[in-house]
Structure 1
Amino acid sequence: MNILVTGGAGFIGRWVVARLLEDGHQVWVLDDLSNGREENIKEFRKLPNFRKFIKGDIKDTTLIHDVFLESFDICYHLAASINVQDSIDDPRTTFLNDVVGTFNLLEECKEQRTKFVFMSTCMVYDRATNQDGIKETAPIKTASPYAGAKVAAENMVFSYYHTYDLPVTVLRPFNTYGPYQKTGGEGGVVAIFLKNQINGIPLQIYGDGTQTRDLLYVEDCARFVVEAGYSPKVNGEVLHAGLGQDISINALAKLIVQDEKLIQHIAHIHPQSEIPKLLCNFTKARKLLKWEPQFTLEEGIEKTKKWIKSTDLI
């Protein structure tokens, strides 16, 4: 198939591109490099099935129209503003990128009948209320402009499914981590903790550290994303992916450093948008896609640590 991946030079996007190339598809990548890095896809550029890297913005309708002069079977839409604090400080930029940019792509996909796979987020939920975890039918709580923009974009995606019969799937993976994730700023907690541990720097935890996360290794996430694009069974559906077990940030820190003297608690930068308990129920993905995670948290952490040590990120 001919496949477009927006945000394909980003953390998860890079792994989605790798999987698609491994499966033998022709792949185009569109990325403005605001979050992604060209180095993330450098190894793919020499492969015959890697057709083109386009540096560009999904808000640029002329550019998007020109990109879609190619005929695509699937568009995996991962490009987005993803930083919660940035969305609080500058909600307009997040709205324009995550909602208007998504609309621009939907318009082109509608013309070509291109299947549209939209990467949303587990941050649209309130909290897990029991050990069964959060199902796709759980109540929504848009506690940040980032979550609000993602829900707005999801609604546009589903409107094209209902109005134009466009094949679409909305994905809400839980907290994904692994190689190629940024290790600073509001990058992933696992990557930041590991970098600090390697450098002997104390691990800083926002708030009391009792908040929990369901941590999904990135290769499992990429397989989930790719398979959702392949399967007509999930057209018109919302799907989750996660490990199916949560861990408190305190316990995660102890798992990584062992020495509690190297763990510090600091004031939370956005407590109003914190989700106290994130635990994924991926029963639906298991049923419809036959998907389930293959890597344990310990295996994923070890693979991520090995990668960080092998890069210039330390």
Structure 2
Amino acid sequence: MSKPVAVTGAAGFIGRWVVDELLNQGYSVISLDDFSNGRRENIEEFHNEPRFEFFEGDIRDEAAIERLINQETAACIHLAAEIDVHESLERPNDHFEVNVVGTRNVLEACRATDTRLGLMGTCMVYDMADSEDGIDETHPVKPASPYAGTKLAAENVAESYYHGYDLPVTILRPFNTYGPYQEVGVVPIFVERDLNGEPLKIYGDGTQTRDLLYATDCARFVVDATFSEAAVGEVLNAGTGEDVSINELARLIASDGRNIEHVEHHHPQSEVPKLLCDPSKAKEVLEWEPEYSLEAGIEELRTWLSNRSNK
């Protein structure tokens, strides 16, 4: 059996798909999650897979990280994080402890074992942009929430380990990802409300745009970038290169006659008005391109949610 790939946050939405992609590519996986954001049912189908090992643990616990990452680890994909923008404004310390201190623990374990690291960042670190060319990796950063600030801090610490210790680190910044097993996010919320015959509710005026990346495309990007020698020391975006307004997204998802309502935004200061990815660097470095159109991804998600509700 090949050396295992360590995955933090394996029971989360993206973590579940990364585990699936690793197994499909023939890797063995050792993983952990504390189920603060992840769900046990997300990884149930993997438990009979001999190449999959899981234990419950918290990235703030150094002993758990040392158990996960050792001399036999082929690589680590670090996905575990506090991820809620609105909650970060209410509870910033929680985000600091998990996203910064937890990442430090992962980096120290990787340094001790010379384990390559794929670090999940976020497109939310970027400053606002109105350009139709999209945001590339050289675009200025300006985190608008403690969530984005702590994720950027984690990236900076990871980059310091690359420059200071020559640790093989790749920083991954996928744009807004959606798909099956996602509990929060505008696309699954809209689709589920539509399936239930409920009105679709939009926070604010709905003119904000997002570049929406399907889950399997994101997972393939994460795995390929983590193992790419050309990507070591790099920051890489992943997206479709097309954005859609939340108003347009609601109209695309809503069935005939379904109401669309606008409601007050709880934290408008944290809302980024336009997110459009320039994925050209990932294409150049990894030969990676998304396979799913927005329409195809929404249909896949709609089918999955329908099947789940009928079980």
TM-score using structure 1 length: 0.96
Number of aligned residue pairs: give it. Answer: 309
> 1:127 touches 1:134 (CA, 8 Å); kept in 2?
no
Bigger shift: residues 86-95 or 69-78: 69-78
Which ranges of structure 2 fall in alignment gaps of 5 or more residues?
none
Q: 1:59 maps to what in 2?
A: 60
Q: 1:12 maps to what in 2?
A: 14
> 2:198 touches 2:258 (CA, 8 Å); kept in 1?
no
Alignment of 1:82-231 (within 5 A): 82-182=83-183, 187-231=184-228
Distance 1:69 1:130, change over 3 A: closer
Q: What is the CA distance between 1:70 and its match in structure 2? A: 5.9
Which of 264, 267, 271 lines up with 2:264 in the alignment? 267
Q: What is the CA distance between 1:126 and its match in structure 2? A: 2.0
Separation in structure 2 between the aligned mates of residue 86 and residue 13 of structure 1, nearest angstrom: 21
Bigger shift: residues 229-238 or 63-72: 63-72
C-alpha RMSD of matched pairs (Å): 1.3
Separation in structure 1 between the aligned mates of residue 285 and residue 62 of structure 2, nearest angstrom: 34
* Aligned residue identity for 2:24: E
Which ranges of structure 1 fall in alignment gaps of 5 or more residues?
none
> 1:204 touches 1:264 (CA, 8 Å); kept in 2?
yes
Q: 1:37 maps to what in 2?
A: 39
Separation in structure 2 between the aligned mates of residue 270 and residue 115 of structure 1, nearest angstrom: 37
Separation in structure 2 between the aligned mates of residue 224 and residue 22 of structure 1, nearest angstrom: 14
Q: 2:295 maps to what in 1?
A: 298
Bigger shift: residues 166-175 or 40-49: 40-49
Q: For residues 142-165 of structure 1, give each alpha carbon's deviation from its aligned partner in whole angstroms, at most 9, with x where no partner exists.
A: 100000000100000000000000
Q: What is the CA distance between 1:258 and its match in structure 2? A: 4.8
Separation in structure 2 between the aligned mates of residue 49 and residue 258 of structure 1, nearest angstrom: 42
Q: What is the CA distance between 1:69 and its match in structure 2? A: 4.3
Separation in structure 1 between the aligned mates of residue 140 and residue 66 of structure 2, nearest angstrom: 36
Q: What is the CA distance between 1:24 and its match in structure 2? A: 1.2
> 1:135 touches 1:280 (CA, 8 Å); kept in 2?
yes
Separation in structure 2 between the aligned mates of residue 66 and residue 29 of structure 1, nearest angstrom: 10
Q: For residues 96-151 of structure 1, give each alpha carbon's deviation from its aligned partner in whole angstroms, at most 9, with x where no partner exists.
A: 00000000010000011100110010111122321110000101111000000001
Q: 1:286 maps to what in 2?
A: 283
Q: What is the CA distance between 1:310 and its match in structure 2? A: 1.2
* Aligned residue identity for 1:278: L
Separation in structure 2 between the aligned mates of residue 228 and residue 149 of structure 1, nearest angstrom: 22
Q: Which runs of 4+ in 1 moved over 3 A?
A: 258-261
* Aligned residue identity for 2:132: Q
Separation in structure 2 between the aligned mates of residue 172 and residue 113 of structure 1, nearest angstrom: 23
> 2:175 touches 2:238 (CA, 8 Å); kept in 1?
yes
Q: What is the CA distance between 1:66 and its match in structure 2? A: 2.7
